[in-house]
Amino acid sequence: MQRILAGSLVVIALSGCSSAAPNSSVGGFTASPTLLPTPLPTLSLKALDATYTKLAKAMHTADCKAVAVFSNTGSTVTRLKQAATSMARAWRAFADGLRRIRWPSTVASDAKALIKSLAATEAAYVLASEGTTRSGIIDDLNRAYNISLGVSAAANLLRGDLGLSSVKAAAC
């Protein structure tokens, strides 16, 4: 479980990322098909940085709450499932926020790669949220952590190509 705590914080500290796959079920509710959000107007580099940072901070807040549950050896199956559901929703929210951005053509493929990585991580948290045993959920959370490592790499590539530094998250 230490791995989940450290891993989640590392991902957020390196990239500030989160969110999702369209049409997935998250923790017991059925999501309606995700419509592509109306894109924001083309943003300046400063506005891109501010938008990204705002999304990253929201993800960090969700991560801190979930990690508190994941790292507590007394957390029940119900609490673990609820925390995994919250994480899946947070990863989705971040990806949806990134989908709304009109990315410069020079980094559009980087943005798509990041969103794809976010979707894979969301799917892993959805799987964890559907677990039935504590050990099974923890195994799924560890898999989600391993998948989330791709988010850090994709986020750093995108931010680097934009000439932005990585987002540094505050401690929980």
Residue 61 lies in a domain: yes
> What average pLDDT score do residues 129-142 get?
95
Q: What pLDDT, on a 0 to 100 scale, did the predictor assign at position 37?
A: 55
Q: Give the side-chain half-sphere CA count within 13 A for 51.
A: 22
**pLDDT class for 49, splitting at 50, 70, 90?**
confident
Q: Across the chain, what does the average pLDDT equal?
A: 80
Q: What pLDDT, on a 0 to 100 scale, did the predictor assign at position 85?
A: 97
When comparing pLDDT for 157 and 5, which is higher? 157
pLDDT tens-digit readout, 99-124: 999 988 889 999 999 999 999 999 99
Nearest to 4 by CA among 58, 53, 75, 56: 75
How many domains is the chain built from? 1
Q: What pLDDT, on a 0 to 100 scale, did the predictor assign at position 38?
A: 60
For residue 78, count CB atoms less than 10 angstroms from its CB and return exposed for 0-12, middle for 13-18, buried for 19 or more.
exposed
Residue 93 lies in a domain: yes
**pLDDT class for 17, splitting at 50, 70, 90?**
very low
Residue 21 lies in a domain: no
**pLDDT class for 4, splitting at 50, 70, 90?**
very low
- Domain span at residue 93 reads 2-14+41-161
Query: Does residue 152 contact residue 37 with C-beta atoms inside 8 Å?
Result: no
Q: What ranges make up the beta strands (E) of 13-171?
A: 25-26, 29-30
* Percent of the chain scoring above 90 in pLDDT: 51
Residue 7 lies in a domain: yes
Backbone phi and psi for residue 155, each to the nearest 5 degrees, phi listed first: -65, -45
When comparing pLDDT for 167 and 94, which is higher? 94
Residue 104 lies in a domain: yes
Query: Does residue 52 contact residue 169 with C-beta atoms inside 8 Å?
Result: no
Q: What pLDDT, on a 0 to 100 scale, did the predictor assign at position 164?
A: 81
Residue 71 lies in a domain: yes
SS3 126: helix
Residue 20 lies in a domain: no
Residue 110 lies in a domain: yes
